[in-house]
Amino acid sequence: MRKIAATTATLALGVAGLPAAPAIAAPEPVAEHGSFSILVENDVFYKSDRDYTSGVALAYTTGATDTPEGLVALGNDLSFLLAPGDIRAGYELGQDIFTPANTAAPVPPLNQRPYAGFLWGSLALLSTDERHLNQLQLQLGVVGPLAQGQEAQIFVHSILGESKPQGWDYQLRNEPAVQLTYERAYKLIPPRTALGFIFDLEPHIGAAAGNVYDYVAAGALARAGINLPNDFGPLRLDPALPGSNFFQARGGFSAYVFAGLDVRAIARNIFLDGNTWQNSRRVDKIPYVGDLQLGAAIELGGLRLSYMHVFRTKEYRGQAVADQFGSINLAFQT
């Protein structure tokens, strides 16, 4: 992780040291609308089935002029967290699935993470201007059998022709989930031109509190391409680098590659620590976890498609190998 962080810092300093160029002259943005997004994260892309094995979500973010008045007023009242800017509302519905590495064992090994499903919905308030993105999200859901993780994984395995996982009887118990997350991203280097490409650099900080995750986070995202769209990178499922479901098309075709790093200091992770008020399986978590993501995105006519490869460091002691999974996101303006 230290090598990854050092490399990223070196690259960031190198970019920052390039001769300052005037802000790029991009085509005039077209009118913004609400954005709908379909997000799928899965380790099947890398032929594995363990740890964080699946995440799916449907998301909708209002346009800056379409946010309900009550939520705009609430966003303004929370100006100490949401700096002045356009207020948007984000709505998400999703499911996460976690499993041990050995899914063939009827009694899962005690030294591997427990089975768990997480079914959730969320409401977020977003405040943006040309250089800032602030997001405050309230997430409500359930962990345990009611989350339907077992049924979802068995269904997907049947479609893919894979064997049925055997140890779901030992999953985490039912527990209501309440989670509050805050993220702030800032364009330290706004879109600039260099070597014929447009690039930007966006450091970020974040924190989460609740009975699912407690952590603080920091990192950065760098992008480079052509006709860079006016957003903060593709959407991801938390905990992760912040991204934006909304995007404001500049007209024409946009394409870019990106690399990002997020490092988290974690006080609680229910999927490793086990249930809050009941006895359940647990493992000894590692308190510091990092994500490195590499990917690409294209945007045309109000449609954005992105794909990224995520490398995640080991999350608990005794974990055999670090995680890898893919994240694909299709977003379109309504």
Q: Considering the domain boundaries, does residue 17 fall inside one?
A: yes
Enumerate the β-bridge partners of residue 54: 42, 97
Distance of CA 71 to the CA centre of its chain: 23
Give the dihedral sign, CA 191/192/197/200.
negative
Task: Report the domain count for the chain.
Answer: 1
pTM to 2 decimal places: 0.88
User: Domain of 137?
Assistant: 2-329
Across 204-243, b (16+ Cβ under 10 Å) vs e yields bebbbbbbbbbbebebbbbbbbebbbbbbbbbbbbbbbbb
Look up residue 165 and give its two tokens.
């996982």
Enumerate the β-bridge partners of residue 325: 310
CATH code of the domain in which 43 resides? 2.40.128.140
Q: Which parts of the chain have pLDDT scores under 70?
A: 1-32, 249-251
Q: Considering the domain boundaries, does residue 91 fall inside one?
A: yes
pLDDT at position 23 is 42
pLDDT at position 44 is 84
Q: Considering the domain boundaries, does residue 322 fall inside one?
A: yes
Q: Considering the domain boundaries, does residue 196 fall inside one?
A: yes
Question: What are residue 299's phi and psi, to 5 degrees?
Answer: -145, 135
Determine how many CB atoms are found less than 10 A away from the CB of residue 332: 17
Q: Considering the domain boundaries, does residue 334 fall inside one?
A: no
